[in-house]
Amino acid sequence: MADKEYTYSDVSEHATKKDLFVVIHDKVYNASSFIDEHPGGEEVLLDVGGQDATEAFEDVGHSDEAREILDGLLVGKLKRKEGDPKPKTYESGGSTVTTSDSASMGIGVYAIILIGGVLAFGAYKYLQSQQESQ
């Protein structure tokens, strides 16, 4: 059953509390048995019912336990057709994507510190040579 393929339009037909499919990382999950137990409430799950919930799910930073529950709800995988919405937020199939942004920020900060250091050293050397020539 878990290797059944669903298109977006198949998934979008399951958007009620008793029959609730969500797509996360191109896999299709039936969340209706879990919705009453969801610590984040039923409202958020109903909001993404029948749609791609990858971004909403990853934004919350769900635990490994949440991912295990997800495994148990798997009903199939998503079959993409041309014109379907693009997969959301993940490029490498990994779980966290926002890290690349902060990594490049980090390099920028180091570059500024490095340039500042080089300039300060140059100024120090320059003043030293001025003093020596007096």
When the beta carbons of 40 and 94 are compared against ligand HEM, the nearer one is 40
- Is position 22 an interface residue for ligand HEM (rule: CB under 6 A)? yes
Q: How many CB atoms lie within 10 A of CB 34?
A: 17
CA 80, CA 8: separation in Å to the nearest integer?
A: 7
Closest C-alpha to 22, from 41, 49, 42: 49
Q: How far is the CB of 79 from ligand HEM (least distance, A)?
A: 20
Is 23 an interacting residue with respect to ligand HEM (CB under 6 A)? Answer: no
- 3-state secondary structure (DSSP) of residue 5: strand
- Of 35-54, which residues contact ligand HEM (CB under 6 A)? 38-40, 44-45, 48, 53
Query: According to the binding rule CB under 6 A, does residue 11 interact with ligand HEM?
Result: no
- Three-state DSSP class for residue 2: coil
Contact letters for ligand HEM, residues 53-82 (x by CB under 6 A): x--xx--x-xx-xx--xx--x---------
Instruction: Answer whether 45's CB lies under 8 Å from 30's CB.
Output: no
For residue 63, how far is the Cα from the chain centroid? 13
Q: Considering beta carbons, is residue 39 or 83 the nearer one to ligand HEM?
A: 39
90 binds ligand HEM (CB under 6 A): no
- Give me the sign of the Cα torsion angle 16, 20, 24, 26: negative
* Contacting positions for ligand HEM (CB under 6 A): 22, 29, 31, 34, 38-40, 44-45, 48, 53, 56-57, 60, 62-63, 65-66, 69-70, 73
